[in-house]
Chains A and B, each alone.
Chain A
Amino acid sequence: MKKLQILGTGCAKCAKLAQTTEEAAQSLGLAYEMEKVTDLRKIMAFGVIMTPALVVDGVVKASGRVPSSEEIKTLLQ
């Protein structure tokens, strides 16, 4: 079970990242749970200062941008 977290305070890009990640995870047939982290204090604890960010199993994989769905697939594996 992969733990996916989307860090963001609710901007348009955050929603897009969540959607792209969800689609990528499903197309990989991954067992995952996804959480949207909107609390600033929690976001800051990851050391991320540019939202949105993608966190996989507690590790920040991308921040400040929405990677392409191809890139997300490699980040998820």
Chain B
Amino acid sequence: MKSARSLKAAVWGILLLTAWFALYRNLAAASHWLTYRVLGMTPGQHLAAAVEFFVFEVPKVLLLLVLIVFAVGIVRSFFTPERTRRILSGRREFAGNILAALLGIVTPFCSCSAVPLFIGFVTTGVPLGVTFSFLISAPMVNEIALVLLLGLFGWKVAAIYLATGLLIALIAGWIIGRLRMERHVEEWVYAVQTGPAADDAPPSWPERFQYGRDAVRDIVGKVWLYVVLGIAVGAGIHGYVPEGLMVSVMGKGAWWSVPVAVVMGVPMYSNAAGIIPIVQALLGKGAALGTVLAFMMSVIGLSAPEAVILRKVLKWPLILTFFGVVAAGILLVGYLFNAIL
């Protein structure tokens, strides 16, 4: 019975994957055909360029989003926050920071439970700096951002984003640990009695697939509209905005563009999905990659709502240090990539 169900799931999985690849491989040809044959547009027109961009990018990004969110959902079913806490508890600094930054990618995390997670970590022997490495990496190295970067900018930019995000989480957490800021944690936190970890039984494979499906329904259901709107605006820019317009504003020559991008990113939080396609279109018009990366990281890694939530357990000096160190890391990444690319 159980093996029959697993077999059925495996067959379905293979069929769906094949269909996915067939669709993905033929998107470019299909969007070309749709734009010029079905809609009868003339190549070279502004409108044609915008329409072709839109009908190609929307299904491409949505396909990538479904596949990667599903895969990440399955990977995350192996890493509960409780398990991550046990792994990190009692680790020494540095090695612990590396581990925390890596676990931040695969552990399911929602900024709404940042506070219980923070308390659960620091009261069970996870060092403060290691906890911060986790808290920085978990939201920043985010699957939606990765998908959009992969789809719209290619795997190199996605890999750079992943690597620099991890590095910032690692170093920022390490610095916060070195600064010995334990006294800037609200006193009551250390008095909390955290009970022994409550662990669900490990899920079976059909349940893991269920997690993946739930993640797709949850996340894709929430962001698809922003993706479509963002790509629509991006398509407009792609078709109508003249080449080189952005050079003076977001180009390499404009030194102030990186800090401005970081500051602009802080209040933006949930709309990352819509912003990336717009930014991608701007990149084609002369914006610099480092500036774009800094903006992305700031949108995702530094969020004003998260600061408000964390204020329950952290005093202002620690929150400001946290934001300051992460912002400095993002600035550095921005300037670095503007300089070398």
Chain B residues, CB < 8 A from A62: 200
Check B93 for interface membership: any CB of A closer than 8 A.
no
Per the 8 Å Cβ criterion, residues 18-77 of A in contact with B are 40-41, 43-51, 53, 60-65, 68
Cα A29 to Cα B116 with chains together (Å): 33
Cα A64 to Cα B188 with chains together (Å): 24
- A60 near B198 with CB under 8 A, answer yes
- B115 near A40 with CB under 8 A, answer yes
Chain A residues, CB < 8 A from B129: none
Check A11 for interface membership: any CB of B closer than 8 A.
yes
Which residue of B is nearest A53, CB measured? B198
- B196 CB contact (under 8 Å) in A12, A47, A63: A47
- A49 near B117 with CB under 8 A, answer yes
Cα A68 to Cα B210 with chains together (Å): 10
- B195 near A44 with CB under 8 A, answer yes
- How many residue pairs, one in A and one in B, have C-beta atoms under 8 Å apart? 81
Chain A residues, CB < 8 A from B193: 41, 44-45
Per the 8 Å Cβ criterion, residues 84-115 of B in contact with A are 85, 108, 110, 112-113, 115
Q: A62-B200, A64-B80 are in contact. Are A50 and B195 (CB under 8 A)?
A: no
Cα A40 to Cα B309 with chains together (Å): 13
Chain B residues, CB < 8 A from A40: 115-116, 119, 192, 312
Contact with A along B174-207 (1 / 0, CB 8 A): 0000000000000010001111111010000000
- B116 CB contact (under 8 Å) in A50, A60, A65: A50
Chain A residues, CB < 8 A from B301: none
- A47 CB contact (under 8 Å) in B113, B115, B197: B197
Interface-central residue, B85, B116, B200, B210, by most chain A CB under 10 Å: B116
Q: Which A residues fall within an 8 A CB radius of B?
A: 9, 11-13, 40-41, 43-51, 53, 60-65, 68
